[in-house]
Amino acid sequence: MKIYKQNKNIKIKNINNSFNNRYKRQYSFCGIKFTVKNKEKIEFYKRKKEEIRRKKYEPIIEEMNSLKKFHNDDDYIITCCITTYNHEATIAKCIESILAQKTQYKYIIKIFDDCSTDDTVEICSEYARKYPDKIEYVLQPVNTKAKQASAFFRNIKTKYYTCIDGDDYWCNENKLEMGINFLENHPDYVIWAHDTLFKNEITGNEYSYVHAHLGFKEINNPVTYDNFVYLHLSARIHRNVIDWETEYLRNRKRDIFIYHATLDKGLMYYQDEIMSIYTFSKNGVFSKLSHLESRYSNFYSYYTINKYLSYRHDNYFSAAAGSNIKLYKKIFGKKLGWAIFMIRCRNKILKKILDEKRASLDRIEHGHQLFSYDEYKQVAEIANQQ
């Protein structure tokens, strides 16, 4: 008598549906049923899914590539980079806010779309057809989770560049004119920036990013690592002073890294005026993180950026990471101290996350013990009345 047998295969119905992209096999052992993921099948359907996407987007990609032949970065002074993924509700407003700029300087808009699955593709491609001399649309055939953004930044050849996410937008039509004018007249400055309106869609509040969210009463110019302040992505214009072909090749070109690497080359000027809107929602990449996860993300950013900048600004990053790092550096030295600090930090935060999950399960399993029978009756009566 066999006590171990395969019962059946549970196949997915729609390979375009990521939720169903879980090919499992069901087994029984001594009467106990359980399922096991078939990794080979998962990879097979993942490849099939990518093939379908490629076939779907190939005509659009070929059309967008044919429009690029009109573009020569030497004809432009600044590149306006838009990174987007499933921003159908906001991407048009973002693009329009750049097209509305009143400036003597010639600019090009480059949109990096990491394989959106909504109407973002149709909206962006329509703008690229309408403005072939101003817009270049780069559509990924499969989602890369922003990994290909590094190659996107390496292809920026203009003297200046500015970046914005597809769910944010500018609110001042003179932004490019003011920013480029300042940088043209002050060659020792590498960044020009301004304040941002923080629009919290979760609470419905709107306030200054610099003064209310970060808590700065004023920012003195020039801004360096001695008086560092993190200004939002949509609020900055960068001088293209980094050779991405030779510098920081192995680092993923995230916003925070680009900011720090550029400021390492010179000074930043801050203009105390709101010229962009930052939309904070539940669907944001970082807003989805828990408090512990976002805390670790900050620590990891401090560590990696500090290491890539050869610890030239270690005092700033150590102060940002907190007092514990000082003890580790004192015992183990600067480089080893940071590495051990990150290992300890990761283990502590991982333990806290597991403890929270365990406490949550305990509340589910033992929740019935929190109420007496009489209290249950009262709750049931109130529920029935409502």
Asked whether residue 135 falls in the same domain as residue 231, the answer is yes
Write down the pLDDT at residue 16.
41
Q: Which residues form the domain of 32?
A: 4-37
* Mean pLDDT, residues 145-158 taken together: 75
Confidence of residue 185 (pLDDT cuts 50, 70, 90): very high
* pLDDT tens, position by position, 341-384: 888 888 887 887 777 777 766 665 555 445 555 655 665 666 56
Question: Are 64 and 87 found together in one domain?
Answer: yes
- Domain check: are 56 and 9 in the same one? no
Indicate whether 138 and 15 sit together in one domain: no
Q: Which pLDDT band holds residue 201 (cuts at 50, 70, 90)?
A: confident
Distance CA 113, CA 115 (A): 6
Q: Record the tokens describing residue 35, joined without a space.
A: 């399922």
Asked whether residue 193 falls in the same domain as residue 329, the answer is no
What phi, psi does 164 have (nearest 5°)?
-155, 145
Residue 28 within any structural domain of the chain: yes
Residue 160 and residue 183 in contact, taking contact as beta carbons nearer than 8 Å: yes
In this prediction, residues 145-174 reach a mean pLDDT of: 84
Model pLDDT, residue 101: 95
Q: Which long-range contacts (CB under 8 A, 24 or more apart) does 89-94 make?
A: 89/167, 90/166, 90/167, 90/168, 90/169, 90/279, 91/120, 91/123, 91/124, 91/166, 91/167, 92/123, 92/127, 93/169, 94/164, 94/165, 94/166, 94/167, 94/168, 94/169
Q: Are residues 160 and 250 in the same domain?
A: yes
The total of structural domains in the chain comes to 3
By CB atoms closer than 10 A (0-12, 13-18, 19+), residue 30 is exposed
77 and 198 housed in the same domain: yes
Q: Is 111 helix (H, G, I), strand (E, B) or coil?
A: strand
Q: 114 and 245 share a domain? A: yes
Same domain, 165 and 227: yes
Tell whether 206 and 119 lie within a shared domain: yes
Give percent of the chain above pLDDT 70.
76
Domain closes at, from 224, 248, 280:
280
If asked whether residues 111 and 28 sit together in one domain, one would say no
Average pLDDT over residues 23-30: 59
Q: What are the DSSP E strand ranges found in 30-95?
A: 32-37, 78-84
Domain identity same for 115 and 76:
yes
CATH number, domain at 114?
A: 3.90.550.10
Q: Average pLDDT, stretch 141-164?
A: 80
Mean pLDDT (whole number) for 299-315: 88
pLDDT of residue 274: 94
For the stretch 81-107, pLDDT in tens is: 998 988 988 999 999 999 999 999 999
